[in-house]
Structure 1
């Protein structure tokens, strides 16, 4: 026996089959574009594996630069936008099926600019100034930061402390005499010696948020040292553990004279989200430098200079009606009135906010608007100084959904010579101009309910009596049942639509299969087909030669489609078949006994035909 096969057989019969017992190790918190080496520890490995195992590495979210049976070099992809990504490294060998996987977070360190509220900043939901008192300040509550507390201000990498001054802490640091908070005697701030890991400077949870508003998340920061890398910071927002927004990486430059600098970003909550975790993280990749201070961390709603709402008592930016409706538009000042003699002009858009037109006579602080045709309308108000219209502010946008429930007419035709049981209805309706963020629900009513198993469902089953026997020479007249009316109601907002659904039963003719044909081109009996088979949609017609080979197949639907011309298409040509006897089968979806010639034992009629040349 070949020595190679001897080795393989010995391996297969003496080595245990082990799966999912390979462990991959390496950096699980990498960054876009970075090269990483990942190693695998096999549960079992010896001479045979070294010489005969084929090892396969697979990477999702990156490229394999080099690999062997024990390691792989991966370059993670560059990412778009500011969002992080999840990568995966997988390995397997083909002798006993050992395999393993490793999930890797690929951090997107693309830099983004600070963004701030350009309207009116509301009262802060979070306002962290770290308090005041003598040095050192107390440690933060558990879970607020992932850095280690050290009461000594000359902290080391991956540590923090709370102080009211950095004077005398380290010679290479700025001597900061006070915190940022105005009029805060002995006010504390957060002092951090960062490292090269994506650790959290700060984390908190905020609830009771309004998805109709934008929010500003910000902090005052300062770069302590000119040595090494500048601090790099990112603001992140999470909902139930999933990141929903981040600021991109914001670098804090060094200044020869210390300066507090405000950084932050703006974001909008997804629909139906009112509670989030807000996090400030380290995005630095170097172990030298990255020393910083943080103070006055704030999280607050950003109100437009003037607020628009469908309610006079709360912020309501969506309203709903059906077919036609009126709605009252309210506006209010969230803070102070910036004009001595304010004037107003309400505007409307019907194209998603691309173009705005003034609503005639809508010049009061509140206004009632009527829409007489279904569509999605948007409104806003412009407030300005009456003596100088150039001094103006624009409100947030309101959306008015004037919905329309459309039910299409429909017809269902059954081909049957027996009692009918089938489904009618299905999705022939739609709610136009609806809010895509809302899960719409509907109720159904069929009238009359005759023959229906359930008149309160979208697609009931209909059970009709058997039609008259088929006419052998011509189709029976169609049986048209009185039309049904389907009325659909949207249960969210009460929109109603209705239309008719007609049901017709066609009784197919009986099928006759000739016993011979003459495909000689004289125009008489040149093709062979089951006559009237086109009355049975979906019927299948097959022809076999004397050796049982299938030489013709058709599912119609026309009489021409079911016609065999006595040839077989082969090698690009229609090859005439010799004279002789051929076997045919006919498979009909219903009314299997409606065939004059041929025998049927299993629902498939069959017989023979003679081809004469």
Structure 2
């Protein structure tokens, strides 16, 4: 009677599970860890071929296998004239993960075969696999063959334990991985089964697919875990806090004589049984010195006869106690800083920062600034750092604010004459740096001597023992010393006037000519002169700002009339060798021309009053009389006459 009841209960559970998901045929209770997990591996293309016993299809070492061929790859790109979808990863999104890419044979056939060993007898298992139709909807004139798969679980002698048909797997607008599966129960004496995947559709245009992640997992009652007093399955505990938790698990009907076992792991490591933890309730205490980490707990369940085998157990979703390390703030500052500069406070290892300090200071942020900091703001600053898990740690940093010197100078401006020097004086610190260093006896002392050529502003940076600085400036204005130039000598005809072409340089200068006789204004730089006889004039340029005086002289030649020699003897004896008319210098514009008795021009002089040496075209002219013609372009106008050359 008991045996019949057990059979009835198993059938009832299976029917109940089936009724929850008629389409997927997947386990609706709790699953065990995968006994078989065929992922096809990972790596670069192409992946290795499957064993000869696994498939009757032929291995193809590149992308895009033909009818009756398969390959193992981590991607497929636009095969057969872009009539296949491009897959860039396996079904988990792993760009290096392999999948089996299949182009069905013309005739329906089994394309995958595997023997699964080590199952537990009298145990319900879920078989599942992920499949994608790689054919584009538009391919084959919108009428491509659709994969239609039959999954069969058989005993090793060929007896079928369970089959499941996927139905037609339609093409999609984009590649969609779908999970197909079902559950089956092993007979008491069966531990090895055969998995066969049969493609019912014909090959040709279409019926192309990718296969990935084949799993076998124990299927049993629904295990619903919880942490007493907590709505979530994970609780966070900050390092240094002592906590106690009670883990419970509600088990739905399904096992006749269930055996329970709690397991634990640390940081996603291997699950291990907790000795003596064999009820649906587990109490766990965490001491204040418990190391940070993610502590996992889960309940496993199986029939009493299969309790020793991990492959027979179903497992609840895990519960976690995550002991989070407190932040390590590492509070610091950029000090010591000088008063008036920018203070930077910084801390790390958190998502929230709360700063407090002297003078009721408060701020937030991993890095905060205090501009123009003062000595009153020196002292200890605290920061409460909180991480993303809500764990906090208090840290502090001591800020030192040093005083700044007050730069002083003995004068802010000074006027000197060119060529003079002045001693600069600065104070208020222990170190001095002058800029620019040009024309300084030293740029690193408090009292250098400055002798600039041009007006210069000097900046002195004064530092103290804390390397804090202040600055001051000194303007040294350089006045030029005067220079005087009386201009060129002048020549005039008595009774006429001439402009004296004096020039000068310097600032704030005045002018004076000596003697002042026959000058229209001796205080002008360029007065008009009309002396009655030869005379020397001297100009004096005086600086009003104490930079001295300068003088220069010139001569005015005064001719009573224009004297024109009537003869000369260019014989090289040093006497009367040239014909020269000095008074022509009194005429700025004139033209002198000499002709021989044939009317040929043998000499000409315009405006420069160069004497004639009796030569023409490099050869001496013959002795005799020559006619001259002088145009003065002013009174008395044209002068004519003859000059005799005596050899």
Same fold (TM over 0.5): no
Larger Rg: 2
Using the size of structure 2 for normalisation, the TM-score is 0.34
Using the size of structure 1 for normalisation, the TM-score is 0.36
